[in-house]
Every structure is written in structure tokens, then in C-alpha cells.
A = this chain, B = another copy of it.
């Protein structure tokens, strides 16, 4: 039995609280923000896909990356956003998260780090 590196992925789950409602309703703004965040991390954007639930409602969106993905789901009515930054390889997911926090200015954030697929026995 040997241990092999199957993939080396870092996944940051960020819960952002206390954001102004306006940016959380603006799909075009959020799409631009997540693409910029990917760039800041040194990741390569493949495509991005955003959905608006209604004029005064939240947004759901994803940026697919060569290195995995960034996703966001927003609730403008409570000022909440759930942001995920999942990157494999040499990209720096923390930089993407820092960029998003700098722009969205959450009053409070809770970030969970998860290592994905670090090692496998076989």
C-alpha cells in the first residue's frame, strides 16, 4: 500500500454576513467580481454562468476554472452571501477570497478551509 497524491485542492467556504443589499442583487457586478477574484488568485477562467431569481431577489452564479470553481449564492434580504473558492494546483484561493471581501465588505465572515483529495491509499 502506497500513498499517492491524487489531487491537491484547497476549498474555502466563506459565509459573508452584513453586506449591503444592492450588490447582492446585481448579477453582472457579481460575475465581474468573481472573474476578477479568479484572476487575483492566478487561476484560469473557463466560463461563467449567473442566474437572477427576480428583480429584488438573490443571485446564484459560478465561474468554472481550469483549477476547479468559484461560486456565489446571495440573499439580499438578509445581507448574506455564501461564497466558495475551490482551486487545485498552484493558484492561491485566499487571494480570490480577500478580493471578494474587499469589494463586498461583509460586517462579519466565517471561513471554513477544506483540503480536497489530498492523499489516497492504494
A residues in contact (CB < 8 Å) with B: 4, 6-7, 9, 11, 13, 15, 17-18, 46-47, 49, 51, 53, 60-62, 64-66, 68-69, 71, 73, 75, 78-80, 82, 84, 86, 88, 108, 112, 114, 116-117, 120-122
Contacts and interface: CB of A to CB of B under 8 A. Distances in A.
Contacts of A65: 60
Contacts of A17: 6, 117, 120, 122
Nearest to A62: B62
A66 B73 CA distance: 10
Contact of A82 (B66, B78, B79, B117): B117
B46 A78 contact: no
Contacts of A73: 7, 9, 68-69, 86, 88
Contact of A62 (B69, B79, B80, B121): B69
Contacts of A116: 13, 15, 82
